[in-house]
Amino acid sequence: MTRYSTRIRDDHMVAVRFSSLGDVVLTTGVLLHRHALRGTEFTVVTRSAFAPVFEGNPAVREVIGLTDEELHGQGQAMAFRMIVDKYRNSPLLDLHRNLRSAMLARSWKDAIICYRKMAFARRVFLMSGGRWFGDALRSLNIPQRYAAGLYGPQEIPSAEELRPRIFLSEAEKSSARERLAPLRNKGRIAAIHPFAAHAAKTWPAESWMRLAAALEAQGISCLWLGRGDDFTGAGEPASLINKTDLRELSAVLAESDILITGDSGPMHLATAAGTPVLALFGPTTREWGFFPSGERDRVLECSLPCRPCSLHGSARCPRGNACTGGISMESVLGNALEMLGL
């Protein structure tokens, strides 16, 4: 629920989103839109690991990055007390709406503005096998749900207006170009992110390797990215798995011609960096609001009656991950080549 004071200050707000990477990235377009429209500047409260997402963002005055110690027990109590004492006279934009953000908000003095989480609609949609609330869920993606508390029902900006953005310095771009020069000299670069928070959200390693071989046969260099077991056997610069921080990952994505990935945080980073995304969606669907929103982004999915199977993606699937596995390598390859203009 949104709690308003008599007069909402619009020059400064405190925006809260603790995790995860993709969700944090999706806040950036919302803050930028409000800044462009009203001149609002934001203090962002997030996990320290995600603070680099906001570097260079003109809408962000300050980022408070909290460590694990500052998000548990006495450490959290002290960190929240400091934030409340310093900023409670500014509106709080709660873009998380969980127990932790509620604990931060409980002593807030000014307006508390919450994002439209649509939790009830999502659960009913899931339990009804998609028979209820589908239109409502499809009408707003996650950035629009974030923005809903800031605008009237008829004033919520379009998905395009709220598209995420990440701002890279010239030094970061130059470093990425130098790092990828051996691949760029051969032609186009297809970045591949083969990891996901849940196994059902991505192909098995063998499928990714088949795709990479097919792309290489077309003269396209493959760039492996992300964090996980490096099963590629490739060295640098072809494999940067476990070898980039968040800003470096964003920069090499910006220098790539396409990103091929499952439903993941780097998917949204690529959109924010302006790189076309070819996303493979399995257990999660459009109704959850996380489809990439770039003009050239594409989503591949299988139409199965069991989708979506959960709110966030299950660890196990009784059908052997049929939704993701049903996306053929030929389909992914064909769409990737088309997106690359080949």
* Amino acid 198: pLDDT: 81
Torsion of CA 47, 51, 57, 59, to 10 degrees: 30
- Rounded to 5°, angle at Cα 151 from 9 and 19: 85
Do the beta carbons of residue 201 and residue 264 sit within 8 Å?
yes
pLDDT digits (tens, 9 = 90+) for 294-323: 999 999 999 888 899 887 666 667 676 788
Cα–Cα distance between 150 and 147 in angstroms, integer?
5
Q: Return the structure tokens found at 306.
A: 């069991």
Name which of 52, 22, 19, 20 is nearest 277 in CA terms.
22
Q: Model confidence over 151-189: pLDDT tens digits?
A: 988 999 999 999 999 999 999 999 999 999 999 999 999
Contact yes or no for 23/3 (Cβ under 8 A): no
Tokens representing residue 162 in the block: 């709220």
Q: pLDDT digits over 60-116, tens only? A: 999 999 999 999 999 999 999 999 999 999 999 999 999 999 999 998 998 899 999
Return the closest-CA partner of residue 210 out of 128, 332, 100. 332
Q: For a pLDDT cut of 90, what percent of the chain falls above it?
A: 85
Span 230-252, mean pLDDT? 97
Question: Using an 8 Å Cβ cutoff, are 220 and 190 in contact?
Answer: yes
CA distance 251 to 168: 7
- Strands of 298-301's sheet in order across: 221-224, 189-193, 258-262, 277-281, 298-301
